[in-house]
A and B are shown apart, each in its own frame.
Chain A
Amino acid sequence: MKLDTTGMESAAPVWGSHNELVDEFSAAPSFELPNTTDFDGFQKEAIQMVKPAKGTTTLAFIFKEGVMVAADSRASMGGYISSQSVKKIIEINPYMLGTMAGGAADCQFWHRNLGTKCRLHELANKRRISVTGASKLLANILYSYRGMGLSVGTMIAGWDETGPGLYYVDNEGGRLKGMRFSVGSGSPYAYGVLDNGYRYDMSVEEAAELARRAIYHATFRDGASGGVASVYYVGPNGWKKLSGDDVGELHYRYYPVMPSTVEQEMVEVTGA
């Protein structure tokens, strides 16, 4: 089984002559495969445990000034909240961001791997990699691991020579170019708010507020999303974190508790 190991190869040169004894030491490092009869089946339980996950809300959209990327910060295991402070927006390099949905380990590892590959591209070609190229690299890697139980639902957002770029890449190997995406169990709720409020010509503040509201509404309705709504902006000079608001507080900011009207009030009765 040929696994994609580019980006993990060591700098040591491989000698021309093939000597069985030497090959062991100079062969390129690769993943060890378990020695089982049912290679696909034995992981089924693990895959099933991960599959329904993607308990999260992430979104990204392109507008006039660049790309806005936002996500919640909750990690859940079934019904239990394991963390309220997970970083779901991964900084691949100073001008490209990736979002995390699905398996945390999978997303973190493969995004870092992508960052490595992007840097190698820069060094080899003396210019930055485009968002198109970076997303294609990731999509090809994920395609080669198709069916092996990786759970990755990510958006690659960045700014390159052609302007803002946004791609959706998932563990099935799918790759879509688009202007607006939302990924995760809270995505239907986020889409509702995002699609309603979206205009191409918005200012950075308006776009940030739209992204924040969309994440907030998703955390309100979806049980698997919550914590902190982080909003990042990707512009011509790279990405910048705009805000990280606790959604518990955002609720009372958007819907403050009004003192209710008094229907019946008890009054002191003077005299007898």
Chain B
Amino acid sequence: MSIFEYNGSALVAMVGKNCFAIASDRRLGVQLQTIATDFQRISKIHDRLFLGLSGLATDAQTLYQRLVFRHKLYQLREERDMKPETFANLVSAILYEKRFGPYFCQPVIAGLGDEDKPFICTMDSIGAKELAKDFVVAGTASESLYGACESMFKENMEPEELFETVSQAFLASVDGDCLSGWGGHVYVVTPTEVKERILKGRMD
């Protein structure tokens, strides 16, 4: 198994009507052994910007800490929050700095930009941005996630329907992967509120 599959992870972000959803699994493992079933992979950068990091857990934690630091500096200097597009550029630059000794992570960035337009993107471990209009996936279950999202996605879904779609696609995909799952964490973000829900999944 490769280094990206050492801890196991699954992440997906999907766009709806003036809202977005970002979901992750809750398993932290060491190859086949499960260590924890409440691991946080998605973190809030600010009220309208969320970052999910898949891949090696130690790199995910360190990278998250560096990014929060950079964002706080930005807040002090600019006296405002970062736009999602700007943040994506920041993550990409930080990842490419380590081009010849990379962080073994694949970030998924989801946020609400100007005029509450949802923005999602993912990157490979050295910062190649992949912008998408519908959904992005990352992690050990990414291939199943692509298939499930492709078939279940519809444009302009309302927050409730978006939550259902993301949850069903997510649970179906992680059930086909040994290294991710053990529950799910879904954030649905609209201009007015953030709803965090925990999914009841198969614990095997």
Interface residues of A, Cβ cutoff 8 Å to B: 55, 72, 74, 76, 78-81, 84, 185, 219-227, 247-248, 251-252, 257
Contacts and interface: CB of A to CB of B under 8 A. Distances in A.
Given A55-B32, A185-B32, A223-B8, A81 B202 contact: no
Contact of B204 (A78, A80, A219, A257): A219
Contacts of A219: 203-204
The 8 closest A-B pairs by CB, nearest first: A226-B204, A248-B202, A223-B178, A219-B204, A251-B203, A223-B32, A247-B204, A221-B34
B178 A221 contact: no
A90 to B, nearest CB: 22
B176 interface: yes
B177 A79 contact: yes
Interface residues of B, number: 19
Contacts of A257: 200
Contacts of B176: 80-81
A220 to B, nearest CB: 5
Given A79-B1, A79-B5, A220 B204 contact: yes
Contacts of B8: 79, 223
A84 B201 CA distance: 15
Nearest to A185: B32
B178 A80 contact: yes
B177 A222 contact: no
B33 interface: yes
B175 interface: yes
Nearest to A189: B33
B200 A252 contact: yes
Contacts of B140: 79
A227 B204 CA distance: 7
B204 A74 contact: yes
Contacts of A226: 178, 202, 204
A247 B203 CA distance: 8
Contacts of A223: 8, 29, 31-34, 178-179
B203 A78 contact: no
Contacts of A76: 178
A60 B1 CA distance: 30
Query: Which of A72, A227, A251 has the most B CB atoms < 10 Å from its CB?
Result: A251
13 contacts: A72-B204, A74-B178, A79-B8, A81-B176, A81-B177, A185-B32, A219-B204, A222-B33, A223-B32, A226-B178, A247-B203, A251-B202, A252-B200
A122 B184 CA distance: 54
Query: Which of B175, B200, B202 has the most A CB atoms < 10 Å from its CB?
Result: B202
Query: Which of B1, B34, B203 has the most A CB atoms < 10 Å from its CB?
Result: B203
A221 B204 CA distance: 7
